[in-house]
Structure 1
Amino acid sequence: MNFQQRKLIIVQTVEERGSVEVHELAALLQTSDMTIRRDLVQLAASGLLYRTRGGAMKVSLASDQHRFANKTAVNSERKDYICQLAAREIQEGDIIFMDCGSTVFRLCQFIRNKRITVITNSLPVVYELMQSEVAVNLIGGEIDKERQAVHGLMAEEHMARYRATRAFIGVDGISLQQGLSGNSEKEASTAINMARQSDTVYLLCDSSKLETDKYFHFATLSLFNVLITDHEAKPEIVTAYRQAGIDLRN
């Protein structure tokens, strides 16, 4: 298969999925990772996609705010591992909250074919799931252009009107001593409101955030029911969390 043939398939796949990893494209096209990386460099230079650390993202998701695109690409393999575990928890017919975290965003690729309803304040999540089997409910309110998310009083009132079977939220830092912390009061408020309206709350957190404290402490560990992290979490930290009564899965 020549470059022009690969180009059509790569661009179509990125447009359909929103984001895709190098290894996924290599398997789809039955070629090497090196060839895919070289193709992505050329396609990014032509403005047909946005190059991420581990693959590529649809331009419409990245062009308005490179910060989010870069953030979701950081530790992408860890985040995908976490989201694969999280996706197994979701049952057909579930109603779930998804916040605007970069880890939670990567859950989209694993739930596209599930007949569920997603309630979210994340514009990238909406874009990613628009052409899927998932029914999407976009929380209303003021749009934070920098974060590509909806926040504010109206958003809080919107969330309060719904009851979800599960909520998937992210966090900037978590520690046994201080609980949950973040870099934004807006996102903390969203996490709290989603958790309040859900039967089961899953905290999706890559191992780099364990035993990390950010400047704004907003909730105790009781906010969530299940902590899902990656297999690179230090064994002593995993043990300490489980001994503290936390349902940690990795």
Structure 2
Amino acid sequence: MFQEERLLKILAYLKAHQSMSVGEICSHFQVSRDTARRDIVRLVQEGVVERTHGGVALPELQKELSSYQDRLIEESSSKDEIGRLSAKLIRDHETVYLDVSTTVQFVAEHVEAKQITAVTHSIDNVSILSKREDLSIYVLGGYLHIQNRLLSGPSVVDKIREIRADKAFIGATAIRPDGLYYPYEEDVRVKKEMARQSDQVILVVDHTKFGAKSRFKLDFEYVDIIVTDQPVSSEMRELLDARNITLIECTTENPQDGAESR
């Protein structure tokens, strides 16, 4: 069994049992303690587990998060509509950042603009866009994060600093009155750099993200447009208006091709 397959099975076990010891890894997969320890080191480095005395466990926050595949299925019809409307904002020949997000993935599904350059560190975005022969794909390289299906590491942010884009499409784990939130600090660094290198930033999120909780904050100042699937609260609407952020609700508004914010 290859290490990647074993790591996925360890994560599946953790999802059901919350923790796993070195001995249990050895007995489940018939591997040595050295191999089990290497697996633990790899999972800890990728940020999906916490080392415990004698094994590994899911981080407290991770217990609250669904897997990438689960999140893709949840609210899929709403995310599809968000993606369809958001993709209309992309013009022919533009360079666009496509973040790692289940909702941004639906943007990639609906891109109709011609001769664009898509810049991404999402494995799924690459797979979707590779079916198109009339566009270019630039992959931001780094370490493979198995569970969230992305490439990560300092090289991702370094390369973003070298690429100017017309638009960036980003997601969020939570939206609260003081900003956007993400489970990992690197998420914020990547989004922030994409925003700095783009003329316009479009946040695509379904209604479940409003009022949710996560750990690391990105200020609203980095966002120009928010596309969501249901009307937001009057308080949130006032907050966004005060920050000059354009709000597009799929139930009431349709963006115009190439729409500009502010």
Deviates more, 1:104-113 or 1:123-132: 104-113
Summarize deviations over 1:140-194 as a string: whole Å, max 9, x none: 1111112111111111111111000000000011122x21111122222211111
Change (3 A) 1:198 1:100: same
The answer for the alignment partner of 2:231 in structure 1 is 233
Computing the radius of gyration over CA atoms, which structure comes out larger, 1 or 2?
2
Which sections of structure 1, spanning at least 5 residues, go unmatched?
1-65
Query: Contact conserved, 1:156 with 1:193, CA < 8 A, in 2?
Result: yes
Which amino acid in the other structure matches residue 149 of structure 1? L
**In 1, distance between residues paired with 2:128 and 2:241?**
38
Which amino acid in the other structure matches residue 226 of structure 1? I
**Secondary structure of residue in 2 paired with 1:187:** helix
Deviation at 1:115, TM superposition (A): 2.1
The answer for the alignment partner of 1:95 in structure 2 is 95
Which amino acid in the other structure matches residue 222 of structure 2? L
The answer for the alignment partner of 1:53 in structure 2 is none
Which amino acid in the other structure matches residue 94 of structure 2? D
Which amino acid in the other structure matches residue 160 of structure 1? R
Summarize deviations over 1:55-74 as a string: whole Å, max 9, x none: xxxxxxxxxxx932221111
Task: Count matched residues.
Answer: 182
Query: Contact conserved, 1:203 with 1:227, CA < 8 A, in 2?
Result: yes
Deviation at 1:248, TM superposition (A): 0.8
The answer for the alignment partner of 1:146 in structure 2 is 147
Could you state the TM-score of these two structures normalised by the residue count of structure 1? 0.68
Deviation at 1:114, TM superposition (A): 3.0
**In 2, distance between residues paired with 1:206 and 1:213?**
14
The answer for the alignment partner of 1:86 in structure 2 is 86
Query: Contact conserved, 1:99 with 1:169, CA < 8 A, in 2?
Result: yes
Which sections of structure 2, spanning at least 5 residues, go unmatched?
1-65, 250-262
**In 1, distance between residues paired with 2:225 and 2:174?**
15
Change (3 A) 1:235 1:216: closer
Which amino acid in the other structure matches residue 154 of structure 1? S
Deviation at 1:77, TM superposition (A): 1.2
Which amino acid in the other structure matches residue 110 of structure 1? H
The answer for the alignment partner of 2:173 in structure 1 is 172
Matches within 5 A, 1:3-42: none
Runs of 4+ more than 6 Å apart? none
Matches within 5 A, 1:27-176: 67-111=67-111, 114-132=114-132, 133-176=134-177
Deviation at 1:225, TM superposition (A): 0.7
Change (3 A) 1:113 1:222: closer
Change (3 A) 1:196 1:106: same
Over the matched positions of the two proteins, sequence identity in percent amounts to 25
The answer for the alignment partner of 2:200 in structure 1 is 200
**Secondary structure of residue in 2 paired with 1:89:** coil
The answer for the alignment partner of 1:215 in structure 2 is 215
**In 1, distance between residues paired with 2:184 and 2:126?**
21
**In 2, distance between residues paired with 1:166 and 1:148?**
22
**In 1, distance between residues paired with 2:141 and 2:246?**
32
Which amino acid in the other structure matches residue 234 of structure 2? E
**In 2, distance between residues paired with 1:104 and 1:241?**
24
Could you state the TM-score of these two structures normalised by the residue count of structure 2? 0.65
